[in-house]
Amino acid sequence: MGFIKWVFFIFALCASGSTPILSDSSFNSNGLSRIPSKLLNFAKKPELFDWMVGIRRKIHENPELGYEEFETSKLIRAELDKMGISYRYPVAITGVIGFVGTGKPPFVALRADMDALAMQEMVEWEHKSKIPGKMHACGHDAHVAMLLGAAKILKEHQKDLQGTVVLVFQPAEEEGGGAERILEAGMLENVDAIFGMHVEPSLPVGEVFTRPGPLLAGGGYFEAVISGKGGHAAIPHHSVDPILAASNVIVSLQHLVSREADPLDSQVVTVAKFQGGGAFNVIPDSVTIGGTYRAFSKESITQLKQRIEEVITGQAAVQKCNATVNFPESFPPTINSEALHEHFHKVAGEMLGIHRVKDMQPYLGSEDFAFYQEAIPGCYFFLGMKNETLGRLESEHSPYFQINEDILPFGAALHASLATSYLFEFQPEVHLQEGKYDDEF
Ligand SMILES: *[C@@H]1O[C@H](CO)[C@@H](O)[C@H](O)[C@H]1NC(C)=O
Ligand SMILES: *[C@@H]1O[C@H](CO)[C@@H](O)[C@H](O)[C@H]1NC(C)=O
């Protein structure tokens, strides 16, 4: 018996006891290709669906900001306890890392973010946020519910797992670098691949969207204080005017993308903050400006950052002002692994039909999932929510943002299928090498 067949045989033996996924088939390519649709049917069962809806609504009512997700984290742990899934806590303050499967390699990670936004919900409904000034307006409540749904599916099919699924419930995606801190905690050191998803109100329900290679931009934030010398607004020659200097700085910054960047290499520099002055007749001492820069390659990001600093200090000096520039946060681009994108394409295609798996254009938003992808091959994708019958859905970060809860089974089943099939598919190579080695003796 060839080694692969032997692995399959062992699997079939293990599987014959308890396996809902493949109970009616031996482990072959046909059985494997049925995993996604079987898991979707499982995820659509009313008891699982209602349970996910309940969790999502509970989290929605009690939104918590980055590193304050204590109740959300508690709820996650309570559900994992009920399922008998072991986990590590605390990781990165409020994070929870669960483990389902053999406890042995390969390891594949699935990630959900937990944090809400500091904004007031304007949607009037039964499960509206109960915390004034805080809202789940980016769908992270649904992301958690879907990963818990996946946990339940995976636990139910545990005997079919040819390795270990690592469930990453991550704090502080919006700001604060939650992904970086999970990595720093060393929780993903042995992980071979990671998948993440985001709900998307502008794309149709039942469809998924991504692309191989660069998907979202990297970049960072900058802030500059431009100092002059304050004085009477009617006697400008006794002052050094930082308002005019800052205005010229802002105009000069526009040249970085329009004149210095390759037109085929998409980049953004936006000044989004301008603070200075408080009276009609006073030139202030200083002005603070700030904004963001984005690009798709490390080189372009580094170049932009360096030139932003040079342009601000240089242009301020032209007008006899001094400037200090700092860069409070930076993040890498989200770049999908070609191999994992191919895996995603196959699994999602088998689940939803290949015509519902769409390529998308890259765009210049950012995701802290990118930090994982710097360390581990990863694939990030978007899950459509739009249903014309139900009406228009507002975009992320809108106070009117809503979740189409019909998507919860899709997200849960995609997570579970991506991990289950990954463990099947990427296992044999390891064993094949071992097998070859054995054969030589
Ligand atoms: C800029 O900094 C120099 C050196 O510290 C100082 O002499 C000068 O007064 C400053 N100019 C303004 C406008 O703050
Ligand atoms: C869209 O919403 C309607 C009304 O709830 C529902 O009947 C239909 O199945 C939904 N379509 C999809 C693709 O989910």
Domains of the chain: 3-216+333-436 (3.40.630.10), 218-331 (3.30.70.360)
pLDDT, tens only, 399-414: 999 999 999 999 999 9
In the reported structure, the alpha carbon of residue 389 is separated from the centroid of ligand 2 by a whole-number distance in angstroms of 7
Q: Considering only CA atoms, which residue is closest to atom 11 of ligand 2?
A: 387
The token duo for 359 is 């390529």
State the DSSP H helix or E strand holding residue 357, giving kind and residue range, or none if neither: strand 357-359
Q: For 17-48, b where at least 16 C-beta lie within 10 A, e where not — what string?
A: eebebbeeeebeeebbeebbebbbebbeeeeb
**pLDDT band at 342; cut points 50, 70, 90:** very high
Number of the ligand closest to the Cα of 316: 1
pLDDT tens column, 358-371: 999 999 999 999 99
CA distance 308 to 168: 36
pTM: 0.87
Is residue 402 within 8 Å of 137, Cβ to Cβ? no
Residue percentage of the chain with pLDDT more than 90: 88
- Ligand 1 centroid to residue 281 C-alpha, Å: 23
Tell me the C-alpha distance between 39 and 420, whole Å.
10
β-strand partners of 291: 222, 271
Segment 11-45, tens digit of pLDDT: 333 333 334 454 443 334 556 788 999 999 999 99
- Side chain identity, residue 105: P
Residue of 387, 388, 402 best suited for mutating to test ligand 2, as the one with most atoms within 8 Å of CB: 387
Q: Give the separation between CA 130 and CA 134, rounded to whole angstroms.
A: 8
What's the average model confidence in pLDDT over 244-268? 98
3-state DSSP assignment of residue 351: helix
Does the beta carbon of 205 lie inside 6 Å of ligand 2? Answer: yes
DSSP designation for 394: P
